[in-house]
């Protein structure tokens, strides 16, 4: 398992997919990184040489904010919204969806409520 940006990426997967295991790297970003590093997308992560891994690491360090830095930035943005007491900040404080989703029927995962079972009709037993 190669280690990139503090994350063990799966070795059996193609490198273009394996890079998406790093927080902040999606499929498009992964393709850009490999294009800049000059590495083929179809190569498995275990088959990469140390030089190729070093190239990938240097490209990520030079041009992308990933893992801890990105997580800190996102958290500081949310904290700023809360401190300014904006609408989105208030929704974060109350642990509700802040992007316009409905909350009457959905948003159970955000609200932390369990599902309410609705009993089906009981079948009448024929005599």
Q: How much is the pLDDT for 121?
A: 62
Q: Which domain holds residue 85?
A: 70-111
pTM of the model: 0.74
Quote the CA–CA distance of 71 and 118 in Å, as a whole number: 40
Q: How much is the pLDDT for 60?
A: 92
Locate 32 and state its tokens.
Answer: 């850009």
Q: Report the domain count for the chain.
A: 2
Quote the CA–CA distance of 96 and 112 in Å, as a whole number: 10
Q: How much is the pLDDT for 113?
A: 73
Task: Identify whether residues 32 and 75 lie together within a single domain.
Answer: no
Q: How much is the pLDDT for 122?
A: 63
CATH for 97? 4.10.910.10
Quote the CA–CA distance of 91 and 101 in Å, as a whole number: 11
* pLDDT string in tens for the chain (127-residue length): 888 888 899 989 999 999 999 999 999 999 999 999 999 999 999 999 999 999 999 999 998 999 889 999 999 999 999 999 999 999 999 988 889 888 888 877 777 777 777 766 666 777 6
Residue 87 is assigned to a structural domain of this protein: yes
**81 neighbors 88 (Cβ within 8 angstroms):** yes
Give the residue from 23, 44, 63 where a domain finishes. 63
Task: Identify whether residues 89 and 37 lie together within a single domain.
Answer: no
Residue 120 is assigned to a structural domain of this protein: no
Residue 119 is assigned to a structural domain of this protein: no
């Amino acid at each position: 398992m190669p280690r990139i940006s503090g994350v063990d990426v799966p070795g059996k997967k193609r490198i273009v997919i394996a890079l998406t295991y790093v927080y902040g790297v999606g499929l498009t970003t992964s393709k850009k990184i490999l294009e800049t590093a000059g590495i083929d997308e179809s190569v498995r992560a275990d088959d990469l040489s140390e030089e190729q891994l070093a190239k990938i690491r240097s490209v990520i360090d030079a041009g992308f904010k990933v893992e801890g830095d990105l997580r800190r930035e996102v958290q500081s943005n949310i904290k700023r919204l809360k401190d300014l007491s904006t609408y989105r900040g208030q929704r974060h404080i109350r642990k509700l969806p802040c992007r316009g989703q409905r909350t009457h029927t959905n948003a159970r995962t955000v609200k932390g409520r369990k599902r309410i079972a609705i009993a089906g009709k009981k079948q009448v037993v024929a005599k």
